[in-house]
């Protein structure tokens, strides 16, 4: 876990971009963010190997590698404040109704990949199946990289554009992009889309995750959070 000064540096950097947005307009600020991205990215990801990847994506891994689960040994547990805790296999998830959407993918550091086709299971379907207890207010999600964590409020998690993703670009999700299963939170910055998803625990309050401990907003809305003036994702 990085310490507080790192987090503050990021916040200051992002606020600076917000000021530029006022002076030059949001488009210019986006362009500047692109130029500055390599510097910005080094801050939150002191632990990270950043590799520019195909199609404008950058691979992120705070654990410094790509953990491996095959579809055969993959498991997703749903527990905490639920009536029916459950462990899903990959085959269980693949058999559930599939949601598809084409949306931009945007990292808070400025890079954006337009019109990415995603497919997966609505998180709300898994929550309904689990029977969320009345005391539950939020979700704490874990990754089988053993490092990254993310939170969502229950209301955010129930949105129809928040999925447990199994596919990207019409193919099974690749290992580098968080396969076999990752979160995909369409309206929020990329850090909310936890890769290599392994667990969902219903909690009575928001438990800030890795990126929030490193200075990012718990609510990661594109264009509204983290002091950025990005256009909303399409």
Ligand X SMILES: Nc1nc2c(c(=O)[nH]1)N[C@H]1C(S)=C(S)[C@@H](COP(=O)(O)O)O[C@H]1N2
Residues that bind ligand X (CB under 6 A): 57-62, 107, 143, 145, 148, 177-178, 190-191, 193-196
For the bound state, the minimum distance from the C-beta of residue 189 to ligand X, rounded and expressed in Å, comes to 7
The reply to whether 211 sits near Mo ion by the rule CB under 5 A is: no
Q: Would you say 144 or 189 has its CB closer to Mo ion?
A: 189
Nearest to Mo ion of 120, 190 (CB atom):
190
Which CB atom, from 88 or from 191, has the smaller least distance to Mo ion? Answer: 191
Helix (H) or strand (E) holding 90: helix 90-94
Q: Tokens 């459950």 sit at which residue?
A: 86
> Where in the chain does DSSP place strands (E)?
51-52, 58-59, 75-80, 86-89, 99-106, 112-122, 138-143, 149-153, 162-168, 171-172, 182-185, 197-203
Residues 96-115 that bind Mo ion (CB under 5 A): 107
Least gap, CB of 198 to ligand X (angstroms): 9
Q: How far apart are CA 118 and CA 169, in angstroms?
A: 6
Minimum CB distance to ligand X smaller for 25 or for 56: 56
Cβ neighbours for 202, distance < 8 A, ≥ 6 positions apart: 78, 79, 80, 81, 82, 127, 130, 132, 133, 136, 138, 139, 154
43 binds, among Mo ion, ligand X, none (CB under 5 to 8 A by kind): none
Contact call for residue 191 and Mo ion (CB under 5 A)? yes
- Quick one: what does residue 118 bind among ligand X, Mo ion, none, with the CB cut-off 5 to 8 Å set by partner type? none
Pairing label, strands 149-153, 162-168: unpaired
Q: Taking the complex as a whole, how short is the minimal distance between the CB of residue 135 and ligand X, in angstroms?
A: 28
What is the bridge-based pairing of β-strands 138-143 and 149-153?
Answer: antiparallel
Cβ proximity to Mo ion, 90 vs 191, nearer residue: 191
Cβ of 8: how many Cβ atoms within 10 Å?
Answer: 11
Least Å from the CB of residue 41 to Mo ion: 8
Interface residues toward Mo ion, by CB under 5 A: 107, 190-191
């Amino acid at each position: 876990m990085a310490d507080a000064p790192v987090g503050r540096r990021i916040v200051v950097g992002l606020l600076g971009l917000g000021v530029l947005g006022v002076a030059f307009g949001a488009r210019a600020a986006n362009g500047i963010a692109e130029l500055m991205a390599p510097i910005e990215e080094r801050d939150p990801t002191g632990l990270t190997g950043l590799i520019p990847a195909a199609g404008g994506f950058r691979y992120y891994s705070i654990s410094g590698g790509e953990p491996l689960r095959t579809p055969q040994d993959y498991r997703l547990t749903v527990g905490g404040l639920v009536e029916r805790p459950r462990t899903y296999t990959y085959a269980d998830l693949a058999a559930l109704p599939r949601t598809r959407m084409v949306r931009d993918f945007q990292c808070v550091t400025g890079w954006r990949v337009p019109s990415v086709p995603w497919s997966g299971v609505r998180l709300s379907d898994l929550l309904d199946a689990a029977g969320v207890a009345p005391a539950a207010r939020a979700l704490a999600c874990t990754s089988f990289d053993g490092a990254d964590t993310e939170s969502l409020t229950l209301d955010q998690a129930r949105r129809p554009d928040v999925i447990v993703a199994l596919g990207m670009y019409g193919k099974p999700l690749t290992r580098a992009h968080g396969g076999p299963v990752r979160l995909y939170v369409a309206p929020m910055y990329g850090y909310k889309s936890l890769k290599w998803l392994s667990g969902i625990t219903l909690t009575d309050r928001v438990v800030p995750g890795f990126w929030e401990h490193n200075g990012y907003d718990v609510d990661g809305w594109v264009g509204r959070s983290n002091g950025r003036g990005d256009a909303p994702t399409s």
